[in-house]
Amino acid sequence: MRLQLASWPEVQEYLTDSTGIMMPIGSTEQHGPTGLIGTDAITAEEISWRAGELVNALVGPTISVGMAHHHLEFPGTMTLRPTTLVALIRDYIESLASHGFRRFLFVNGHGGNLATVGAAFYEIYQEFRQAHGADAPALRCRVLNWWDGSKVRALSDDLFGSRLGNHATPSEVSVAAFAYPGYVKHAELDPPVAPTGRFYDARDYRRRFPDGRIGSDPSMATPAHGERLLVAAAADLAEAYRQFMNED
């Protein structure tokens, strides 16, 4: 059930049975010549919505803009600064915790968010400890990348092998294509498999990876692959959520 599509009595009823919630978090950033700018938010929310149905979990509103400073040389990219994202996550969790939510599983669609999301969790724990002392509610916050589950990883290896790459991957582009088949885009990719390597700031990124991709060949992406990847990732996520909710 999506929080945005629920009524308050439904949320009140849900809380008598569970204090868990999934929180999709993505990014609004370039994904190469063919990938949608919203890929990371779309993938995270689609997989969360599907997994939420499997385990009857509430899914919060998607955090659609994340840490994308290094993509700012490409038109359309938006970023928060780390302090803004930390503040936003604190406010989201404090709002939900005030109603009784206690376990927050962040479903991440963008690797660049991880450090800042982790920093937000530390801030929240510290803030609750200072505010409530020994009576602080036992909050638990976790973040996982949707592509790290064992089923989706195996499928993605099988479908794309070494052409998966690290950014604008055929895996994420496929999931977004399945979600929005009317927005599949085509372009000549040169070279077919993008270069890999380290980068520093936004200008350095664009210099090393001129079309925005890193190590990937998104021409392999199809909506049909996207459906299979979505199903696999949702199954992985459902399992991770069950474990998270059942932990001592």
Residues that bind Ni ion (CB under 5 A): 39-40, 172
Amino acid at site 200: Y
Nearest distance from C-beta of residue 83 to Ni ion, angstroms: 23
Amino acid at site 134: A
Give the separation between CA 145 and CA 143, rounded to whole angstroms.
Answer: 7
Give the separation between CA 19 and CA 170, rounded to whole angstroms.
Answer: 35
Give the separation between CA 204 and CA 114, rounded to whole angstroms.
Answer: 21
Q: Is 74 or 101 the residue whose CB approaches Ni ion more closely?
A: 74
Give the separation between CA 90 and CA 110, rounded to whole angstroms.
Answer: 19
The residue count for the chain: 248
Q: Is 172 or 236 the residue whose CB approaches Ni ion more closely?
A: 172
Q: Is 39 or 79 the residue whose CB approaches Ni ion more closely?
A: 39
Nearest distance from C-beta of residue 111 to Ni ion, angstroms: 8
**Selection from 197, 162, 175, 155 nearest residue 36 by Cα:** 175
Q: Is 20 or 35 the residue whose CB approaches Ni ion more closely?
A: 35
Return phi, psi of residue 78, to 5°: -125, 150
Q: Is 122 or 183 the residue whose CB approaches Ni ion more closely?
A: 183
Encoding tokens for residue 232?
Answer: 């696999």
Cis amide bond preceding 9, omega within 30? no
Nearest distance from C-beta of residue 168 to Ni ion, angstroms: 7
Give the separation between CA 174 and CA 225, rounded to whole angstroms.
Answer: 6
Q: Is 19 or 216 the residue whose CB approaches Ni ion more closely?
A: 216
Question: What is the pairing mode between strands 20-25 and 103-108?
Answer: parallel
Q: Is 42 or 232 the residue whose CB approaches Ni ion more closely?
A: 42
Amino acid at site 221: A
Give the separation between CA 18 and CA 12, rounded to whole angstroms.
Answer: 10
Nearest residue to Ni ion, using CB?
40
Nearest distance from C-beta of residue 146 to Ni ion, angstroms: 10
